[in-house]
Amino acid sequence: MLTIHAADLLVTADRVRPAVVPGGAVLVDGRVLAGLGTYQELAAARPQARVRRWPGLIAPGLVNPYGPELLEQTYHPDPREAEELGTEPVTGAALASLPMTDARWGASARRGVQRMLAHGTVAVAGELRHPAVVDAVRRAGLTVEERFGDPTGPPALDPLAGRSLADAVLMPLAPLDGMDATFAVFDVPDEAALAVRGAASCVATVLGGRLVYRRR
């Protein structure tokens, strides 16, 4: 199925082609990124494509550098545990006091991955060793990238915390043969506003052509 995702701005992070396209859009054919340009250009070329309109800007998907810290050294509580554990991630001594089974680690990782998707994350960096966590990441479609050295700063769900968009993207958006349609949409007017508001402004995340997160 052909789908055009259109927004007020397209930021490709591509150093070869235009990096910013006002009124930009991406054309998705199944799981493939089939085209980039303005909405008018893509709609004229593929009038049969369905259209999804988003507020803000479309940008490449992001890499969170804290894969092990957020998924194997953090417990993401179930909403039903809010009265006992609260709603924020549990770490340190509080985590050490919890009886963590493989099933509980897997469920925590699935919730953690959903939180990551809500921040435009499409990949994590760092070696994951717990089978239940690896399975949760794989099933969600996130990739695991190699990490050279420990990242600076405390672990954060926001991949843009202390990093520029250029430093955080998994791969620039470019219509190369067979390239996956993987990107995120942020409800901000431009890249400067994205740097201020961070990836919590994410309204949609697309992985291999699949809409895996949409803010309600």
pLDDT digits (tens, 9 = 90+) for 132-185: 999 999 999 999 999 988 888 899 999 999 999 999 999 999 877 788 999 999
Print the domain residue range for 23: 2-61+171-214
Given strand 20-22, what is the order of strands in its sheet? 20-22, 9-11, 57-60, 183-186, 202-207, 210-214
Residue in 200, 168, 202 with CA at minimum distance from that of residue 184: 202
| Domain finish residue from 101, 129, 145 | 145
Q: Are residues 49 and 73 in the same domain?
A: no
As for how many domains the chain has, the answer is 2
User: Do the bridges between strand 62-64 and strand 121-125 make them parallel or antiparallel, or are there none, so unpaired?
Assistant: parallel
Q: Residue 18: its pLDDT value, please?
A: 63
- CATH number reported for the structural domain that contains residue 14 in this entry: 2.30.40.10
Q: DSSP H helical segments within the chain, as ranges?
A: 39-45, 67-71, 82-85, 92-96, 102-117, 131-140, 165-168, 191-197
Q: Residue 131: its pLDDT value, please?
A: 96
Q: Are residues 141 and 68 in the same domain?
A: yes
Q: Are residues 56 and 75 in the same domain?
A: no
Checking phi first, is residue 198 left (phi over 0); if not, alpha (psi -120 to 50) or beta? Answer: left
Global pTM reads 0.93
Q: Residue 16: its pLDDT value, please?
A: 67
Residues of the chain with pLDDT > 90: what percent?
89
pLDDT in tens, 105-122: 999 999 999 999 999 999
Q: Are residues 57 and 68 in the same domain?
A: no
The neighbouring-strand residues paired with 143 are: 123
Rounded to whole angstroms, the Cα distance separating 75 from 92 reads 10
pLDDT in tens, 77-90: 999 999 999 999 99
Q: Residue 176: its pLDDT value, please?
A: 76
Rg of the chain (C-alpha set): 18
Whether 25 is covered by a domain: the verdict is yes
Q: Which tokens sit at 55? A: 């507020």
Buried b (16+ CB within 10 A) or exposed e, 52-61: bebebbbbbb
pLDDT-derived band at 201 (thresholds 50, 70, 90) equals very high
63 neighbors 168 (Cβ within 8 angstroms): yes
Whether 152 is covered by a domain: the verdict is no
Rounded to whole angstroms, the Cα distance separating 103 from 183 reads 30
Q: Are residues 127 and 70 in the same domain?
A: yes
- The SS3 call for residue 203 is strand
165 neighbors 191 (Cβ within 8 angstroms): yes
Whether 154 is covered by a domain: the verdict is no
